[in-house]
Structure 1
Amino acid sequence: MSRKKIIAGNWKMNKTPSEAVALINELKPLVANDEVDVVFCVPAISIIPCIEAAKGSNINIGAENMYFEESGAFTGEIAPNMLTDVGVKYVVIGHSERREYFAETDITVNKKVKKAFEHGITPIICCGESLEQREQGVTIDFIRQQIKIAFLDITAEQAKTAVIAYEPIWAIGTGKVATTEQAQEVCAAIRVCIAEIYDQATADAIRIQYGGSVTAASAPELFTQPDIDGGLVGGASLKPEFGKIVNYK
């Protein structure tokens, strides 16, 4: 089956709200491509001005994180209904930086995925191995574990609409890119894992991105692989180059 590509920018902790609006206005004409879903995941403080700036364009605004409770004494966190109230449709969950610096685990990722689906937000669920894990030959085992726990108690109907982002940790922000063969191999293994959890129809429907130093040069080869359905793009999503990545054909 043909899956619509989804190309998302993860802005991380970059750009003030006014700078974010200026960047969206600069990128709007460059990313105009209705053949792919275009998402900018921006810092929480910039979500509202970015949604305003993106109005009338093909850009969807996503969040970089959210909490798994509805409300309460969770200082500094953002609830899912706060996101849906302003029109957020996507949220990045379990990015390796969240896991490394902010103590996120496979279990908290699963809680957030469940909560995202409860509120009709599409989760972009991140997985990926370290350099040590790749060198030890446990990449597929490790990622299968991340995926299986992330999808605990998620229905097949929900899973079909999820996005998975495979980001080898050793390739994030390092300039190292997994070879096309490495990226395709892991994305294919993720799809096999989803088929085992659910069925082939669910596996065929789910979109799997590659992330980790994606550039305009590497995008065309990556995005034409049978199991790679777009990218989660870091640094390059903050530059005009992102337009070339979106229009990779």
Structure 2
Amino acid sequence: MSKMLTKRNVIPDATRSTATDLRVQRLLTSEPVLISNCRILTLIDHPSREINQQLRAALQSSQQPVLKFDEGDLRLTPVDFASLLSRRLTNALTGVSRAAVSRLVIVYSPRWSGECRLPADAQRIRIAHRQIRDLLRIVYDQETADQVQIIYGGFVFEEELADVLCDSNVDGVLINK
């Protein structure tokens, strides 16, 4: 049986005003990296205007802003995911400068990842990360899109980890150790 890396309770479902720390596996061979003093903003569960205001406040503070993006309970097709992402993320980033957004961490944390896993999930994860990076490139530019950390926050089987981490659009996987 495969061992599963989990992130249960690392990212809460509600927007947090208190800081939390995230542990991120960036490479298979390295130790996890700690991202400290994070303020988690859950993009799907709250109105984009509210998230935009909270994101701007977090960017002005000393906290590390983290946008958690979840497509909901369904495994969306790449086209549907891109449409949802475009609406939500664009609204959340309205008025946020290139310099400010480069400090941002985006965590793609689909609810479906903790349920039934499918063979194509690693590919679905890579596609979602590429779509997030592409949208940042369209809204800002390539340099800014490359500076934003995009991390996978769902469940990952050990044998999938290398496949997920080898993608240039995946900057790491959240772990709980």
TM interval, shorter chain, is: 0.7 to 0.9
> Superposed, which structure 2 residues align to 1:136-175 within 5 Å?
137-171=79-113, 173-175=114-116
Structure 2 unaligned segments of length 5 or more: list them: 1-5, 13-22, 24-28
Larger RCO, structures 1/2 (Cα 8 Å, 6+ apart): 2
Aligned residue in 1 for 2:117: 176
Secondary structure of the 2:173 match is strand
Aligned residue identity for 1:139: F
2:15 equivalent to 1:38: no
Q: Sequence identity of aligned pairs in percent?
A: 19
Alignment of 1:94-105 (within 5 A): 94=42, 99=45, 104-105=46-47
CA–CA distance in structure 2, aligned partners of residues 218 and 11 of structure 1: 21
Report the RMSD for the aligned CA atoms in angstroms: 3.0
Structure 1 segments, 4+ long, off by >6 Å, are none
Say how many residue pairs are matched: 156
Within 5 Å, give how 1:222-237 maps onto structure 2: 222-233=164-175, 237=176
CA displacement, residues 60-100 of structure 1 (integer Å, 9 cap, x when unaligned): 3xxxxxxxxxxxxxxxxxxxxxxxxxxxx21221165xx2x
| Residue aligned with 2:107, SS | strand
**Structure 2: distance between partners of 1:160 and 1:10:** 27
* TM-score, structure 1 as length reference: 0.54
Question: Greater strand percent: which structure?
Answer: 2
Q: Flag structure 1 segments of 5+ consecutive residues without an equivalent.
A: 1-7, 15-26, 28-32, 40-59, 61-88, 243-249
Amino acid at match of 1:158: A
Q: Does the CA-based 8 Å contact 2:7-2:154 persist in structure 1?
A: no
Matches within 5 A, 1:27-176: 37-39=33-35, 60=36, 89-94=37-42, 99=45, 104-132=46-74, 134=76, 137-171=79-113, 173-176=114-117
